[in-house]
Amino acid sequence: MQKRKLGNSNLEVSAIGLGCMGMSFSYGPAKDKTEMTSLLRAAVERGVTFFDTAEVYGPFVNEELVGEALAPVRDQVVIATKFGFKLDPTGEKKWLGLDSKPENIKRVVEASLKRLKTDVIDLLYQHRVDPSVPIEEVAGAVKELIAAGKVKHFGLSEASAETIRRAHSVQEVTALQSEYSIWFREVEEAVLPTLEELGIGFVPYSPLGRGFLTGTIKADTKFESTDFRSSLPRFAPDALKANSELVELLSEIATSKNATVAQIALAWVLAKKPWMVPIPGTTKLNRLEENLGAADINLSKQDIEEIEAAASKVAVQGERYPEALEKMVNR
């Protein structure tokens, strides 16, 4: 597996990482712990060194899974986790809003360190920007944690260009994690130029459009009530029917490259900038191997133009989040 550095930092990771959320959270019931432990270790054996989790995934159980599975190879991997949600102590609801107050950040880090079975978090993201706490205070709290040796690198998620600049002026931001794929390119307008200017790495989540760009989701696909895609406007039946045209166009390109649609979607991200590291998630070994195969696909400038020309013919239908969640991004 090829390696990449996130921006100007010294944080080097595999060119493709592994998003671990779906193993415990959001995409139906939590998967079998033994099976997921085997999958995580199989990823390491295949050269993956970058693993993404968060306290809210579960909550808590995904960090526990990742920490336990990777403990035997802890010195070989980079673990990223996140803070920023106010979690319901009763467990009745997953979360009660946002909380990036410095005292909460420090409390969360102590708990995450225990669950991850480690003495330092390699990359700590603010999961969502909290409008009630100045980003300078957030960056300052993480700066103190870095000085204390409990965190190595600071990251943001779904932050605007202005917020990134303000945070970076207090504590160097190593990486931004936001949604990005051939299906969703909003960050190209202001965010990506800012990252390039400041030397910040980019970690696209959902580079396969939450499974849509694998070609396995059809207009009549039904999602379980425990699968959060059942509530996403972009995955409503009418939207899926309209959006399927994009997959059909990408399928033609994939066939010409002797690749799958998913591999072309990931190869497109990898070809955009050398400081981008996508983190597709999966719970299946064959899908993991398929995704990692994208690193061996070299797309030319002409290939990129062809893919983007095909994508431009399709007006994607449906917002990516319900209104309440949409308000938590790009701020």
- In tens, the pLDDT along 151-204 reads 999 999 999 999 999 999 999 999 999 999 999 999 999 999 999 999 999 999
Instruction: Give me the pLDDT at residue 327, please.
Output: 78
- How would you classify the pairing of strands 95-98 and 173-179? unpaired
Q: For position 314, what pLDDT does the model report?
A: 87
Provide the residue ranges of all domains of the chain, joining segments of one domain with +: 3-209+269-297
Residue-level pLDDT at 92: 67
Q: Rounded mean pLDDT of the chain?
A: 95
Residue with tokens 């999961």: 127
CA distance linking residue 13 with residue 274, whole number of Å: 12
Which pLDDT does position 91 carry in this prediction?
A: 67
Helix axes 102-115, 61-70, angle to 10 degrees: 50
Residues in the chain: 331
What's the mean pLDDT in 215-220?
89
Q: pLDDT (tens digit, 9 = 90+) per residue, 85-127? A: 999 877 666 778 999 999 999 999 999 999 999 999 999 999 9
Residue 292, exposed/middle/buried by CB under 10 A (0-12, 13-18, 19+)?
Answer: buried
With a CB cutoff of 8 Å and minimum separation 6, the contacts of 301 are: none
pLDDT at residue number 89:
78
Tell me the two tokens of residue 270.
């990898």
Residue 279 has what pLDDT?
98
Residue corresponding to tokens 């917020």: 163
62, pLDDT greater than 90 = yes
Please confirm, yes or no, whether 57 is among the known catalytic residues: yes
Q: Which of these ranges, 179-183, 227-231, 265-269, 326-330, has the smallest mean pLDDT?
A: 326-330
Whole-angstrom distance, CA of residue 281 vs CA of residue 23: 8
d(CA 121, CA 119): 7
Residue 316 has pLDDT above 80, yes or no: yes
Amino acid at 217: I
**Which residues 6+ apart lie within 8 Å of 82 measured at CB?**
53, 54, 55, 56, 124, 125, 126, 127, 157
Phi/psi at 231 (5° precision): -105, 0
Instruction: Tell me the average pLDDT across 128-148.
Output: 98
Q: What percent of the chain has pLDDT over 90?
A: 88
List 27, 57, 125, 205, catalytic entry: 57
What are the φ and ψ backbone dihedral angles of 184, each rounded to 5 degrees? -145, 110
**Which range, of 45-59, 105-119, 135-149, 244-258, averages the lowest pLDDT?**
244-258
Residue 17 contacts residue 278 (beta carbons within 8 Å): yes
Instruction: For CA atoms 167, 168, 174, 178, give the dihedral sign.
Output: positive
Q: What is the mean pLDDT of residues 283-300?
A: 97
Class of the CATH-defined domain 3-209+269-297: alpha beta
Average pLDDT over residues 136-159: 98
Q: Is the pLDDT of residue 285 over 70?
A: yes
Q: Is 94 left (phi over 0), alpha (psi -120 to 50) or beta?
A: alpha
